[in-house]
Structure 1
Amino acid sequence: MTDLHPIRLFPDDDAVAHVGAGLLARTLPRPEWTHEAHLAAIAWLVRKRPDIDLDARIVAIIAGYNESVGGVNDDHHGYHETITRCYLAGIRAFLAERPADESIHRSVNAMLAAPVGARDWPLRFYRREQPLSLEARRNWIEPTDSLMDID
């Protein structure tokens, strides 16, 4: 089967910093807010901005960015609590296994090529319809299977 969405890798650390800092500053152009950018920005925040309490601030960071570029956070679009928290846990676990001194773009590119980087990765931990529900968009839904199985 051909992948409909080939992975867009990051050429260097500056490219990862661009999406991470752009998310925080709400200056990242909307067309650049791709699946890969979502994951890279979170990885950059985890690795490079430990001063930010992501557990407390992730909603405000992503929802605020969405609104700043003309998007909405409603019952059908924008911030998704369960998918975001699932990826946050997976990214943290993935990065914890990488060398601490590895460049951020190498870590991100490895993550994008790994199972945790797949667009449908969070779906493997839930019954089919559950992570796509309105309840899951608004609130954290505990996974059916452990998130610590990031392979």
Structure 2
Amino acid sequence: MAMDSPHSWNKPGKVYDGPDAILARVAAFRARTLPKPEWDHFAHLTIGHHYVATYGAEEALERLRNDISRYNEACGVPNSDTRGYHETITAFYVRSIARYLAQVPASMPLLDQVHGLLNDALGSKAIAFDFWSKERLLSTEARRAWLAPDLKPIDALEAWVREAA
């Protein structure tokens, strides 16, 4: 059973004061100086948005694998079987962010794009649990490598987006 429905995600509202705040968070992440308490879900989405918008989904995922792992190490978080980088979650959100970006005009200002993502169903912290059981998604196997969903096929993301709209 899914932990969340497309109609009950938590919306964060306005997270950033302007585009400079977004770019500063990206820069701090890349420099591995972002304070660990600030590496929350919204920061993950913000960084993911930047990478997907800048590099495209495939290259973004390659870069995120490396950069998230290096950031974790800089913060003293081991990339292990139970902590740190999570391949399935990262790959899923890269796909979700790419889907979101395909829906918005390229001319939309950065601040509006990022706030739109953070307030969109695709940016929900619980969306993955509509596709994976908790046990499967939080497994060592899913952390190490892409593990296909067990509740809904990933191709159902399109229908999920339509239902959530």
- TM-score over 0.5 for the alignment? yes
> What is the alpha-carbon distance in structure 2 between the residues aligned to residue 23 and residue 57 of structure 1?
13
CA displacement, residues 28-77 of structure 1 (integer Å, 9 cap, x when unaligned):
12121111010011101222456x92232221110101111222211111
Paired residues in the alignment total: 147
Q: Secondary structure at the match of 2:106?
A: coil
Q: In 2, are the aligned partners of 1:20 and 1:42 still within 8 Å (CA)?
A: no
State the 1:120 CA deviation: 0.8
Code of the aligned partner of 1:132: L
Structure 1's 49 and 145: CA in aligned 2 closer, same or farther, altered over 3 A? closer
Match for residue 126 of structure 1?
Answer: 132
Matches within 5 A, 1:131-150: 131-143=137-149, 144-147=152-155, 148-149=157-158
Code of the aligned partner of 1:80: H
Q: Secondary structure at the match of 2:112?
A: helix
Q: In 1, are the aligned partners of 2:61 and 2:90 still within 8 Å (CA)?
A: no
Structure 1: runs of 5 or more not aligned? none
Identical counterparts, % of pairs: 34
Larger mean Cα displacement after TM superposition, 96-105 or 18-27 = 18-27
State the 1:138 CA deviation: 0.8
Instruction: Give the number of the structure with larger relative contact order, counting CA–CA contacts within 8 Å between residues 6 or more apart.
Output: 2
Q: Is 1:45 matched with 2:51?
A: yes
TM-score by length of 1: 0.86
Q: Is 1:93 matched with 2:105?
A: no
Larger mean Cα displacement after TM superposition, 95-104 or 140-149 = 140-149
> What is the alpha-carbon distance in structure 2 between the residues aligned to residue 49 and residue 14 of structure 1?
20
Code of the aligned partner of 1:46: V
Code of the aligned partner of 1:89: R
Matches within 5 A, 1:1-150: 7=12, 9-49=15-55, 53-143=59-149, 144-147=152-155, 148-149=157-158
State the 1:127 CA deviation: 3.1
TM-score by length of 2: 0.80
CA displacement, residues 83-114 of structure 1 (integer Å, 9 cap, x when unaligned):
11000100011011111011122111111111
Q: In 2, are the aligned partners of 1:67 and 1:73 still within 8 Å (CA)?
A: yes
Code of the aligned partner of 1:146: I
Q: In 1, are the aligned partners of 2:11 and 2:119 still within 8 Å (CA)?
A: no
